[in-house]
Structure 1
Amino acid sequence: MQLGMVGLGKMGANMTQRLIEDGHEVVVTDLIPLAIEEAVKDGATGAEDLATLVKKLDAPRAVWVMVPAGVPTQSTIDELANLLEAGDIIINGGNSYYKDAIIQAEQLGKKGLHLVDVGTSGGVWGLKEGYSMMIGGEKEIVDHLSPIFETLAPAADKGWGYVGSSGAGHFVKMIHNGIEYGMMQAYAEGFSIMKQKPEYDIDLAEVSRIWQDGSVVRSWLLDLMKEAFDVDQDFEDIVGYVNDSGEGRWTVFEAIDLNVSAPVITESLLRRIRSREEGYTDKLLSVMRNQFGGHKMMKEEDE
Structure 2
Amino acid sequence: MTLANIGVIGLGVMGRNLVLNMERNGFTVAVFNKTTAKMHEFIQGDAAGKRIVGYETLADLVKGLERPRRILLMVTAGAAVDAVIAELKPLLEPGDILIDGGNSYFLDTERRSRELEASGLWFVGMGVSGGEEGALWGPSIMPGGSPEAWQALAPILQAIAARAEDGAPCVTHIGPGGAGHYVKMVHNGIEYADMQLIAEIYDLLSRGAGMSADQLADVFAEWNEGELKSYLIEITSHVLRRKDDLTGKPLVDVILDEAQQKGTGKWTGQNALDLGAPVPTIQAAVESRSLSAMKERRVLASRVLGGPKPMYQGEVKPLVEAARQALYAAKIIAYAQGFELMSMASQEYQYNLQLAELARIWRAGCIIRAALLEEITAAYRRDPALPNLLLDPAFAQAVAERQTNWRWLMQTAIGMGIPTLALSSALAYYDAYRSERLPANLIQGLRDYFGAHTYRRLDREGVFHTRWNE
Provide the TM-score with structure 2 as the length reference.
0.57
1:32: Cα distance to partner? 2.5
1:59: Cα distance to partner? 2.3
Unaligned 5+ segments in structure 2 are: 244-249, 299-366, 369-470
The reply to whether residue 132 of structure 1 matches residue 144 of structure 2 is no
Q: Is the 8 A contact 2:20 2:136 kept in 1?
A: no
Matched with 1:226 is 237
Matched with 1:85 is 93
Report the aligned-residue RMSD.
Answer: 1.9
Q: Is the 8 A contact 1:150 1:157 kept in 2?
A: no
The reply to whether residue 211 of structure 1 matches residue 211 of structure 2 is no
Of 12, 15, 21, the match for 2:24 = 21
- The SS at the match of 1:68 is coil
1:234: Cα distance to partner? 5.3
Q: Is the 8 A contact 2:137 2:160 kept in 1?
A: no
Matched with 2:59 is 51
The reply to whether residue 146 of structure 1 matches residue 151 of structure 2 is no
Which letter maps to 2:257?
G
Relative distance call for 1:83 and 1:100 in structure 2 (3 A) is same
Of 121, 129, 135, the match for 1:121 = 129
Aligned residues: 280
Per-residue CA deviations over 1:99-141 (Å, capped at 9, x if unaligned) read 1111111111111100111111011111454111111111122
Greater CA deviation, 86-95 or 144-153? 144-153
- The SS at the match of 2:177 is coil
- Give the 5 Å matches for 1:104-253: 104-155=112-163, 157-197=168-208, 201=212, 203-214=215-226, 216-232=227-243, 233=250, 235-253=252-270
Identity of aligned residues (%): 35
Per-residue CA deviations over 1:188-244 (Å, capped at 9, x if unaligned) read 110111111455557011001110111x32210111111112214452432122221
- The SS at the match of 1:243 is coil
Which letter maps to 1:207?
V
Higher strand content, 1 or 2: 1
Relative distance call for 1:38 and 1:70 in structure 2 (3 A) is same
- The SS at the match of 1:118 is strand
The reply to whether residue 98 of structure 1 matches residue 82 of structure 2 is no
Unaligned 5+ segments in structure 1 are: 280-291, 294-303
Q: Is the 8 A contact 1:4 1:63 kept in 2?
A: yes
1:147: Cα distance to partner? 1.5
Which letter maps to 1:182?
A
Relative distance call for 1:92 and 1:201 in structure 2 (3 A) is closer
Which letter maps to 2:130?
G
Greater CA deviation, 230-239 or 220-229? 230-239
- The SS at the match of 2:287 is helix
Q: Is the 8 A contact 1:5 1:65 kept in 2?
A: yes
Relative distance call for 1:9 and 1:15 in structure 2 (3 A) is same
For the residues of structure 1 that align with 2:91 and 2:112, how far apart are their CA atoms? Answer: 16
Relative distance call for 1:65 and 1:199 in structure 2 (3 A) is closer
Matched with 2:279 is 262
Which letter maps to 1:93?
G
Relative distance call for 1:110 and 1:201 in structure 2 (3 A) is closer
Per-residue CA deviations over 1:11-40 (Å, capped at 9, x if unaligned) read 000000011111101000112334312432
Per-residue CA deviations over 1:77-119 (Å, capped at 9, x if unaligned) read 1211121111110001110011111111111111110011111
Q: Is the 8 A contact 2:239 2:252 kept in 1?
A: no
